[in-house]
Homo-oligomer: A and B are copies of this chain.
Amino acid sequence: MTRLSLLCGLGFCLANQAMAWEQVLIDPNTPARNWQVTSEELGIQAERPFKVSMRTLHGGRQEGVSLIEIDNGVMRMTIVPNRGMNVLEAVAGDVRLGWDSPVDEVVNPSFIELNGREGLGWLEGFNELVTRCGYEWVGHPGEDNGELLTLHGRAANIPASRVVLQIDEKPPYVIRLRGELKEKAFKKVDFSIMTELSTEPGRRGFSLHDTLTNEGDYAKEYQALYHTNFGTPLLEQGARFVAPVKQVSPFNAKAGKELSDWQTYRGPTADYDETVFNVVPFADEQGETLTMLHNRSAELGVTVGFNTRELPVFSLWKNTDTEKQGYVTGLEPGTSYSYNRAYQRPLGLVPAIEPGEQKHFHVSYDLLVNKAAVADARSRIEAIQGDRKTEVIEKPLVDLEN
């Protein structure tokens, strides 16, 4: 670790942020390697000693994949630089945020053919708590502008180009992990996504702040969706989704049949497959909104907070099939729903980014470990809703049958 304060001597750093320790974990001259640092080694007398470490996996389709673990004293987050800086899981005590996908390796994108299985190759690697979808497109595979768009875009299968760890020298000792995704193709797209995950020692949660930059000379369409996936113990029969809802509609005819019950969950259900609901959330005056998943007894929950000016819509993915099939629900703030891009353009859900422009996406995740915390989150959500009505649209926004 070198003290960033040395760089700060140039006058740049002090103006913008507290002084921080900084370590390059991966860059063109720095291969991923086994490495770790502890608060103790940094000379920090933390109430909650913390630790950051990196190691590389071998064998199978995870050969060469590295994992970065940030243990902030109460929660241990695992980030996968090789897979779009996705968050594999976050564990606090005996609660794990994440889920059990049949895909039980952390798959190196070098083994993935996104174009396989008619554009569903992405499914051969999908198993994270937070899977970035985007940024050229999101949604189901299908043709748009004469090109097969593969499921949910390329981001999750882009290895990060430069990964840097930063730890503030002063309380609350914010820990930041940044990794850049280069989503590029000559004549097609020139995006850079600077991802950032931050947390503080003692926090049972973490925040993402991603910055999409259009480095090209032309305005481009883009889409983003934060596919955040929870299984047990949060998800169970009677678990509930809570949000300030301006509008809800079923993704397709099947979801339409369960519209009356869309905010409660089934237990693992054979042959259920999935239902998806499209949500337009309400937000406060700054655009901030909060959604929550809590278990049946409302003693355990998680909040997903975001800003509707950045991510105006939300998909609730209820994949309450059997446990081994992947019993999981997705809370997915996005610029867009999960339809193919061709369907979303008429809905106004394919925004553009101007040359040189930056789009920011903030999403925060916090675990709620008791009834009071769940109740408090519910109050905050109700405050956002206020006395505003929810519009329930019975028919899917998109006619997928024709």
Which A residues are within 8 Å of any B CB, using their own CB? 26-32, 55-64, 81, 101-105, 108-111, 113-118, 120, 123-124, 126-127, 146-148, 150, 158-163, 180, 182, 184-190, 215-218, 270, 273, 321-326, 355
With beta carbons under 8 angstroms apart, the residue of B63, B217, B355 that contacts A159 is B63
CB-CB under 8 A for A185 and B30, given A59-B160, A190-B102: no
Determine if B124 and A184 form an interchain contact, defined as CB atoms under 8 angstroms apart: yes
* Docked pose: A118 CA to B218 CA in angstroms: 22
Q: Which of A64, A120, A185, A189 has the most CB of B within 10 A?
A: A185
Determine if B325 and A102 form an interchain contact, defined as CB atoms under 8 angstroms apart: no
Determine if A113 and B111 form an interchain contact, defined as CB atoms under 8 angstroms apart: no
* Docked pose: A374 CA to B365 CA in angstroms: 63
Kindly provide the distance from the CB of A89 to the nearest chain B CB, expressed in whole angstroms: 15
Residues in B neighbouring A57, C-beta threshold 8 A: 28-29
With beta carbons under 8 angstroms apart, the residue of B109, B114, B218 that contacts A325 is B218
Kindly provide the distance from the CB of A243 to the nearest chain B CB, expressed in whole angstroms: 25
Q: For the complex of A and B, list the 9 residue pairs with the smallest distance between their C-beta atoms, beginning with the closest.
A: A60-B161, A217-B322, A110-B110, A102-B190, A217-B324, A31-B58, A123-B186, A124-B185, A26-B59
Kindly provide the distance from the CB of A208 to the nearest chain B CB, expressed in whole angstroms: 19
CB-CB under 8 A for A63 and B61, given A187-B123, A324-B217: no
Determine if B182 and A61 form an interchain contact, defined as CB atoms under 8 angstroms apart: yes
Q: Which of A161, A217, A321 has the most CB of B within 10 A?
A: A217
Residues in B neighbouring A81, C-beta threshold 8 A: 59
Determine if B58 and A102 form an interchain contact, defined as CB atoms under 8 angstroms apart: no
Determine if B118 and A146 form an interchain contact, defined as CB atoms under 8 angstroms apart: yes
With beta carbons under 8 angstroms apart, the residue of B26, B58, B59, B215 that contacts A58 is B26
Determine if B115 and A113 form an interchain contact, defined as CB atoms under 8 angstroms apart: yes
Determine if B31 and A215 form an interchain contact, defined as CB atoms under 8 angstroms apart: no
CB-CB under 8 A for A64 and B61, given A113-B113, A113-B114, A185-B117: no
Residues in B neighbouring A163, C-beta threshold 8 A: 59
Determine if A158 and B28 form an interchain contact, defined as CB atoms under 8 angstroms apart: no
With beta carbons under 8 angstroms apart, the residue of B101, B116, B325 that contacts A115 is B116
* Docked pose: A186 CA to B102 CA in angstroms: 6
